[in-house]
Chains A and B, each alone.
Chain A
Amino acid sequence: MEQTGKRKRVHINNISLVITIVLFILMFLFGSVKYNNFLSLSTFLNLFNDNAYLMIAAIGATFVLISGGIDISIASTIAFTGVSSAYLLERGVPAFLVILMMLLAGIIVGCTQGALIHYFKLQPFIVTLAGQFLMRGLCVVISERSIPISDPFFKTMALGKVAVHLGEAKAWNGKIYYYVFILLIVFAAAVYTLRYTKFGRCLYALGGGETSASLMGLNVARTKIAAYGISSFCAALGGIVFSFYTLAGFGLQNLGLELDALSSAVIGGTLLTGGVGTVAGTVVGVMIEGIIQTIVTYQNLNTWWTKVTIAALLCFFIVIQRIIAIRAEKSKGKNE
């Protein structure tokens, strides 16, 4: 029984991921056939250049989703980090100190949310919704206008890039900005944590069922609080990468980005009910969103089409998840 249950879970996970990858390839092919200059290495690399911050934040969100919770304060945390780092840099605080402070602030916010959720049994969505408003409010308190960043370190990170040469033709050339390497580090660390550490396995167990996890003797409190801490930490890091990307801080940035982060996790095969999910899937999920955005730009449509399409895609994947889950439940009933 244990065995079949496990196999089914892997099955669910795989199906979503396979659909996602196929969908990504189809969209890329569609773009390549329809538009000139679409099929090139730089289109592909730009998916990372333009969405590195979102990928980092979405990786963090995946941790919370795996634990069975939800974090909708991500977008505000990104905006808050952007505004406050721009504000501090404007006042002459050294760049490394600003980055350190922001990351620390992220961890504190996340752990506070996690503690409220765990110790006082508050609903995750209400706590993180309050967190969302708190951070958004603080953004406007700090500054209502957009603050430009002129710090040399931030500028180096924003403009520095590595050229990639794969062939003579123009299509085979591209560039990767420095900050994309931060994404690679986060990705590697996240994969390692989820797969090979005790904490990672605890997280999956927690998502599978909180009661059984605590009966197994796992430290539920620490795992849960850490999951929210990681999520906000990643959001703060994403915010810093975002300020590298835009070289400005503005309080109303990234409205509704939490849906993007959550939907890319879901599109990548993470179950909203917890216990199943991979960061690789999440990254592919963000890549799909990136490609939708690219196509929308190429087609010269209203940018709101991106949001509408992503929401539709999210619906589609959630429905698939539900259908598979219902079928799994039914076959379970038959076995018994």
Chain B
Amino acid sequence: MRETWNRLSEKQYFRPLIIFIIILLFNGIVSKGDFFTLSIVDGHLYGRIIDIVRNGSKLMILAGGMTMILATGGTDISVGSIMAISGAIACSIVNGNIFPSFNGNVAAAIILAILAGTVSGIWNGFLVAKIKIQPIVATMILMVAGRGIAQLITRGKIVTITSETYYFINGGYICGLPFPLFIVLFLVGLLVLFTGRTAFGLFLESVGCNPTASKYVGIKVDRMLLAIYTLSGAFAAVAGLIESAGIKGADCNNAGLGIEMDAILAVAIGGTNLMGGRFSIPASVIGALIVQSITTTVLALGVPAAYIRVLKALLIIIICLSQSKQFKDLVIKRKMINRKVVGS
């Protein structure tokens, strides 16, 4: 028993998991138990926790892709815009505004939207890996231009759709559980298997710690960067589909606005070093759940939504500080001085 506990507490996802449970308990106490009530209506589970999972699904997917990029010391701030592009394409196809020959085929819409996300990801990866532009600048190009592209696809309008099949992506249920959960499980499961069971994860960490050394060891850094940015783009497209299915339309100005910050925050809470190096995808996914539950909690407490952004910005700085070696040294030095004073 003790051994399993020790082994569990060594895992990177242990601390985030505890934080998540504490937040849930806090919510439970504040709401006097209402928070945990699950009701079954028409064979579907309803409840606050289910809401957190459903609303957090986009973030969990993004956090999965973002973890790998941050592990290499890069970043991808274009995910929000890619979500907008994917939503715009999918809704426009379902609506028949573009490619009328598909007759609003949902499958075609989904495939083309994910394809667009993949192409966006390849573009990011190409700029970062081949042209060697700093990731922040490379992805910022798409962050700003992407919303423009989405606007051009929808011709500057908000596209609304009526398609029960398409709504299913966000609102559907399988075995009483919300469909987005299955998308998350599938994508994240793939990632965990891929990084955990192959050498890819190890290579990622090595690139994050020292790209030059990794190159001399024989790791194909370029190809790896290209692959992870592409994956991140494709994942963002899936998140965009969930988002647009949720609001039943494509709103290019607001879809995924500011979500890149949430994704980075989720990864940071998960304990992945933002400078690159050690990473854990399950920890980031729990981090995403924490971010989502913080949002829900703050809203439930009646604090205006505007404060959430400020809170998150402060949180990310605090977490970054706690990861910084210089900051740790400073704190340790203080403690040592205090101890010396007490000792003498």
- A positions within 8 Å CB-CB of B: 70, 72, 116, 119-123, 125-127, 129-131, 133-134, 136-138, 140-141, 144, 256, 258-259, 262, 272, 302, 304-305, 307-308, 310-312, 314-315, 318-319, 322
Contacts and interface: CB of A to CB of B under 8 A. Distances in A.
B93 to A, nearest CB: 20
Given A133-B312, A141-B304, A305-B148, A127 B325 contact: no
B317 A127 contact: yes
Contacts of B156: 302, 304
B266 interface: no
B30 interface: no
Contacts, number: 120
Interface in B134-165: 134, 136-137, 140-145, 147-149, 151-152, 155-156
A120 B133 CA distance: 24
B274 A126 contact: yes
Given A133-B312, A137-B306, A137-B310, A70 B136 contact: yes
Contacts of B140: 72, 258-259, 262
B310 A141 contact: yes
B111 interface: no
A318 B151 CA distance: 25
A122 B320 contact: yes
Contact of A259 (B143, B310, B326, B327): B143
A28 to B, nearest CB: 24
Given A120-B326, A129-B77, A307 B275 contact: no
Interface in B301-319: 304, 306-314, 316-317
A246 B142 CA distance: 28
Given A119-B326, A304-B148, A126 B310 contact: no
Nearest to B325: A121
Contacts of B258: 133, 136
B131 A72 contact: no
Contacts of B325: 121
B324 interface: yes
A131 B155 CA distance: 33
B141 A116 contact: no
Contact of B317 (A72, A116, A256): A116
Contacts of B131: 318-319, 322
A258 B140 CA distance: 9
B264 interface: yes
A123 B148 contact: no
Interface string B162-178: 00000000000000000
Nearest to B253: A255
B306 A141 contact: yes
A91 B132 CA distance: 50
A70 B304 contact: no
Interface of B: 75, 77, 127, 131-134, 136-137, 140-145, 147-149, 151-152, 155-156, 258, 261, 264, 274-275, 304, 306-314, 316-317, 320-321, 324-327
Given A126-B320, A318-B133, A302 B151 contact: yes
A328 to B, nearest CB: 14
A325 to B, nearest CB: 9
Contacts of A138: 310
A86 B338 CA distance: 47
B275 A123 contact: yes
Given A121-B325, A130-B261, 7 more contacts: A116-B321, A120-B327, A129-B316, A138-B310, A144-B306, A302-B151, A307-B144
19 contacts: A70-B137, A126-B274, A126-B320, A127-B317, A131-B313, A133-B313, A134-B313, A144-B306, A256-B144, A259-B141, A272-B137, A304-B148, A304-B152, A307-B148, A312-B145, A315-B127, A318-B137, A319-B131, A322-B132
Contact of B306 (A140, A310, A314): A140
A171 to B, nearest CB: 33
Nearest to B138: A318
Contacts of B275: 123
Contacts of A137: 306-313
Contacts of B313: 130-131, 133-134, 137
A91 to B, nearest CB: 19
A137 to B, nearest CB: 3
A24 B1 CA distance: 73
Contacts of B145: 307-308, 311-312
A126 B141 contact: no
Q: Which of A70, A308, A312 lies at the interface centre, i.e. has the most chain B CB atoms within 10 A of its CB?
A: A308
Nearest to B261: A133
Nearest to A120: B324
A322 B133 contact: yes
B159 to A, nearest CB: 15
B298 to A, nearest CB: 12
Contacts of B151: 302, 304
Given A122-B324, A322-B133, A140 B316 contact: no
Contacts of B152: 302, 304-305, 308
